[in-house]
């Protein structure tokens, strides 16, 4: 009997999606950060085999996570279910409750919709106060760092029908990760660079459901369900000789590793300049060997790094942009494309401010011209961001 995956490929569809993900086998899962790092960042290699999957630098992989067995067991215990109870998923397919809590329902993060529904179900006075008009700040504070299990422990209730959980809980959603490889070089392989989210809240150690699923529960030989999310707004220039400036601190460097592999494979000859930053060079210099080798062989033309904790004064990528603003303006005035990937709250605005400052200063035309210049770059699709 044919597997569903082989049948899909042989019929020529290869239409892998969120609702029809491809199951890829992990080839490698290794730590990128050092033993003294405050972060756990991992490099994952996945085998696409004969899936027919195609991707380009700038695309993301959508990973469908699963909840941990321990988390599912604790929820079942609190709800007084065995896990064998029959339910139907969002599409009417039959499965048991344990499968539903493992792969379909979000229990690792407490949503406002779940709390509001639970408040109505239990009539708990504290929850009722949180959903009153004007209580949004209190509600957000309560939700932060809590999981469905915390709600069950705080406000226990007995559900008569397990199917109600499909109304109470959101669907367990995929997480998008920038692909850190080029198919032109690796063909049937896809690489990811994943920071495993870990923190403490409300007296418990917590982990990101998807990042821990990838980083800590998918050893070589393990499997991940994935699909490709195409990003047409984060592509290398069609002109193979156009200059490329890349700003990617931390795991924001992932798509730029893909860009550089694409150039290494001979797809284009783009002059490339990378700004990379993290906390400590000895612990957090992701893909250091790759970048230094590319710098030696000319694949990478310029490399500027900023390690914030390696000196008394914290230095970030925007400082390196300012320090190199004369050369940066020369590249921009010659038609360079400017890419930013990573944190949207602080890094991306700070980088844009440094960019505007460089244009205003070295064009000798001031801030108004800099804003016009940046607006024109956006219009020409030469200023591209993938921030989150």
DSSP secondary structure letter of residue 196 = P
Distance (Å, rounded) from C-alpha 351 to C-alpha 346?
Answer: 9
Residue 131: other Cβ atoms inside 10 A: 17
Outline where DSSP puts E strands in the chain. Answer: 22-31, 41-47, 60-64, 86-88, 94-96, 175-178, 189-195, 198-201, 204-207, 223-229, 244-247, 272-278, 302-307, 337-342, 383-387
Q: What are phi and psi of 111, to 5 degrees?
A: -95, 155
pLDDT in tens, the chain (388 residues): 334 444 444 333 458 999 999 999 999 999 999 999 999 999 999 999 999 999 999 999 999 999 999 999 999 999 999 999 999 999 999 999 999 999 999 999 999 999 999 999 999 999 999 999 999 999 999 999 999 999 999 999 989 999 999 999 999 999 999 999 999 999 999 999 999 999 999 999 999 999 999 999 999 999 999 999 999 999 999 999 999 999 999 999 999 999 999 999 999 999 999 999 999 999 999 999 999 999 999 999 999 999 999 999 999 999 999 999 999 999 999 999 999 999 999 999 999 999 999 999 999 999 999 999 999 999 999 999 999 9
Show the domains of the chain with their CATH numbers: 4-63+176-229 (2.40.30.10), 69-168 (1.20.990.10), 244-387 (3.40.50.80)
State the first-to-last Cα distance of the chain, in angstroms, to the nearest integer.
43
Query: 190: which strand partners?
Result: 46
What would the two tokens of residue 332 be?
């921009």
d(CA 59, CA 53): 12
Backbone angles phi, psi at 348, to 5 degrees: -60, -45
CA distances from 350 to 137, 165, 178, 367 (A): 27, 43, 21, 16
88: helix, strand or coil? strand
């Amino acid at each position: 009997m044919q597997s569903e995956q082989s049948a899909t490929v042989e019929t020529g569809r290869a239409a892998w999606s969120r609702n029809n993900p491809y199951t890829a086998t992990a080839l490698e899962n290794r730590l990128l950060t050092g033993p003294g790092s405050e972060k756990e960042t991992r490099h994952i290699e996945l085998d696409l085999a004969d899936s027919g999957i195609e991707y380009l630098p700038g695309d993301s992989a959508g990973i469908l996570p699963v909840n941990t067995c321990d988390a599912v067991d604790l929820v079942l215990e609190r709800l007084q279910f065995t896990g064998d109870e029959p339910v139907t998923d969002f599409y009417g397919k039959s499965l048991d409750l344990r499968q539903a809590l493992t792969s379909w329902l979000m229990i690792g993060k407490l949503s406002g919709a779940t709390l509001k529904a639970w408040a109505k179900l239990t009539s708990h006075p504290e929850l009722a106060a949180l959903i009153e008009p004007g209580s949004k700040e209190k509600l957000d504070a309560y939700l932060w760092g809590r999981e469905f299990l915390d709600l069950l422990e705080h406000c226990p209730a007995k559900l008569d029908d397990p199917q109600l959980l499909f109304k109470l809980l959101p669907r367990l959603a995929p997480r998008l990760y920038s692909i850190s490889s080029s198919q032109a070089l690796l063909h049937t392989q896809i690489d990811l660079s994943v920071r495993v989210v870990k923190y403490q809240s409300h007296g418990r150690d917590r982990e990101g459901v998807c990042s821990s699923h990838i980083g800590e529960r998918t050893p070589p030989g393990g499997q991940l369900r994935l699909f490709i999310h195409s990003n047409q707004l984060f592509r290398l220039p069609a002109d193979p000789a156009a200059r490329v400036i890349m700003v990617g601190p931390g795991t924001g460097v992932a798509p730029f590793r893909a860009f550089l592999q694409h150039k290494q494979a001979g797809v284009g000859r783009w002059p490339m300049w990378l700004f990379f930053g993290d906390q400590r060079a000895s612990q957090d210099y992701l893909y250091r060997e790759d970048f230094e080798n590319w710098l030696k062989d000319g694949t990478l033309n310029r490399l500027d790094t900023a390690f914030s904790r390696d000196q008394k004064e914290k230095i970030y990528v925007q400082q390196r942009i300012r320090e190199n603003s004369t050369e940066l303006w020369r590249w921009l005035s010659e038609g360079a494309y400017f890419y930013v990937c990573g944190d949207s709250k602080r890094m991306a605005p700070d980088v844009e401010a440094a960019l505007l400052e460089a244009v205003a200063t070295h064009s000798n035309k001031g801030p108004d011209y800099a804003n016009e210049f940046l607006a024109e770059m956006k219009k020409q699709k030469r200023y591209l961001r993938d921030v989150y």
